[in-house]
Amino acid sequence: MPSLRDENGDSETLEVTTLDQTTNAEVKLYYTVYKDLPVMTRHAVVTNTSDRAMELERVFSACFDFNTMDYDMVHLYGKWAKERTVTERPLCHGIQSIQSKRGSSSHNHNPFVALKAHGATEENGEVYGVNLIYSGNFSIEAEVDCLNATRLLAGINPTDFTWRLEPNESFTAPEAVMVYTDKGLGEMSRIFHRTYMKHLIKSPWRDVERPVLINSWEAAYFDFDDDKLVAFAHEAAKMGVDMLVMDDGWFGHRESDDSSLGDWYVNEKKLKGGLSSLIERVNAEGLKFGIWYEPEMISPDSDLYRAHPDWCLHVPNRENSPARLQYVLDMTRKNVRDNIFAQMYKVISENKIDYVKWDFNRNLTEVGSALLPPERQKEVMHRFVLGTYDLMDRFVKAFPNILFENCSGGGGRFDAGMLYYSPQIWCSDNSDAIDRLRIQYGTSFGYPVSAMGAHVSAVPNHQTGRITPLHTRGVVAMSGTFGYELDLLKLTEEEKDEVRSQIGEFRKYAPLIQNGRYYRLTDPFKSEVCAWEIVGNSQEEVLLNVVMEEIHGNMTVNYVQLRGLDESALYKEQATGRIYSGAALMHGGMPLPAEFGEYRAYQYHFVRE
Ligand code: GLA
């Protein structure tokens, strides 16, 4: 199971062993605390020490009791193209919970909850945050009892779950990460960010600047061939892009979303000369090469399905429900995983591939496995997640230098379990810069900026039809892994120049963005001025980002108050050379120009004198 790791002896673990003397179920609880971070993790291991089989029906990972109900429950709900929308509600008597029953952590609710004291803000007040390192069905619930006390539970969703333990067998529940601060939601998030950067993400890419990439999806969808991709690479190279990612559509006979998942061999009708020739040509343009996979899926129209119709999840005598015209592979089966591993290993090891996008584009239905006996069918949801983790583990070990990016219909599996294997996750299929303000804001509650896949895309935006300035799209995507997802050949010369200078700007800020401290300065759900900043770890510099959502010609001067600076220091704004004191920036605020124009964006870089 993915979990936090401690490479430098920064943590201590308390192990509590309990025994139910009636059933002989032994439960070990593991509490780990970290020296330099106000974080505690907990997970449980249940062992059957009896001489008969037993069935687990509920195994939560964390359980906390509070002697009051004076909290607001903050959580992140959503749907496709609108992931991680922040919402909050005061606790009330009874059970309030968020859950996934879809087989993955899902677009609908992120496995994250914060209980914040009434009146706590972004900057002040007590907050308890909990996040599960798990990518499957989960439940996080707060129950307020008749004495006004609150119990918070987080773990695998008991719905559709049982686990049979034979004598001496054990079951390990996922790890829950808990954060406490009395400095508000902003500090809670920064603690999660530091924890995940230091103890969760294990890719060697964690501390390395990520390549600026151009992705073929919104640039061409399924309509590409080798020449078109090389033309993208040629144009991208002139602008300073590092990598071309060939998204969906390169394998089997896939020309739309109706076929070929599971047939992971190159469509040579499309890519004439095969993959190695394409990669050579892309490399010759000076770009690295990345590729897209959806390993857990199978199309009914595929050689794999024709050969092994029982390899997808299914329930006898029931028809399978296709979603996006595809079924889900039975990841609980080792032979299925071995087949997918072998197919992908062949392509990746025989070609110069620097990056893999790992997608997952539907939820689980008809959740049954052909190999398990009836009494173990309710294990399938969890076994599926374990199977996926096993496959991912094999890949990250086989190809330690490949940059993996996770994805699930956009941000449907944006969770700490996935972050353990891949240092970045595509945030959302909604690439509209204005919607992204809110999606990235919500994502930042639990996850670092370095994890957020974000690209500049075309206008009118393909998901919303909205038109935003290229500069604004750049500012928003820079608070993420940064790249492009549009047909660069269609840009005007002026726009190409702008892209070139955008990439130059991004490279200047990349180390700060990846490693700095992230502050949400306004709430884009409430304010028309969306502002956020990233402060260097020694307060030596700060990058302030602002996007104006007002659409009326507002000629008043808006001031954005910065945070986390050294009040007594002087900071020079790099574009104008103007000097501001830290105190002035924090208490007075940075005055924004009173200008017209929709969706204007501003970016200011201040360096301490
Ligand atoms: C999902 C992803 C997209 C793209 C498509 C390809 O929707 O989120 O980025 O890769 O699949 O089918």
Q: Using only C-alpha atoms, what is the Rg of the chain?
A: 25
Q: Which pTM value belongs to this model?
A: 0.98
**pLDDT at residue 551 in the model:** 63
Mean pLDDT, 10 residues at a time, over the chain (609 residues)? 93 98 98 96 98 97 97 98 98 98 98 98 98 98 98 98 98 98 98 97 93 98 98 98 98 98 97 97 98 98 98 97 98 98 98 98 98 97 98 98 98 98 98 98 98 98 98 98 98 98 98 97 96 98 94 76 98 98 98 90 98
| H helix intervals, 56-141 | none
User: What positions carry a catalytic annotation?
Assistant: 359, 429
Our answer on whether the CB atom of 187 is closer than 6 Å to any ligand 1 atom is no
For residue 261, give the nearest of 228, 234, 301, 222 by alpha carbon: 301
Our answer on whether the CB atom of 410 is closer than 6 Å to any ligand 1 atom is yes
Q: Which segments of 118-149 are extended strands (E)?
A: 127-133, 138-144
**pLDDT at residue 552 in the model:** 63
Give the mutation target among 83, 214, 217 for probing the ligand 1 site: most ligand atoms within 8 A of CB.
217
List the residue whose alpha carbon is closest to atom 12 of ligand 1: 248
* Distance between Cα 220 and ligand 1 center (Å): 12
Our answer on whether the CB atom of 359 is closer than 6 Å to any ligand 1 atom is yes
List the residue whose alpha carbon is closest to atom 11 of ligand 1: 409
* Distance between Cα 598 and ligand 1 center (Å): 29
Our answer on whether the CB atom of 248 is closer than 6 Å to any ligand 1 atom is yes
**pLDDT at residue 550 in the model:** 75
Q: Which residues contact 351 (CB under 8 A, 6 or more apart)?
A: 275, 276, 279, 289
C-alpha distance across the termini of the chain, in Å:
47
Give the mutation target among 79, 223, 358, 359 for probing the ligand 1 site: most ligand atoms within 8 A of CB.
359
**pLDDT at residue 585 in the model:** 98
Our answer on whether the CB atom of 429 is closer than 6 Å to any ligand 1 atom is yes
Q: Which residues contact 169 (CB under 8 A, 6 or more apart)?
A: 47, 48
Rounded distance between C-alpha atoms, residue 100 and residue 110, angstroms: 8
Give the mutation target among 83, 245, 247 for probing the ligand 1 site: most ligand atoms within 8 A of CB.
247
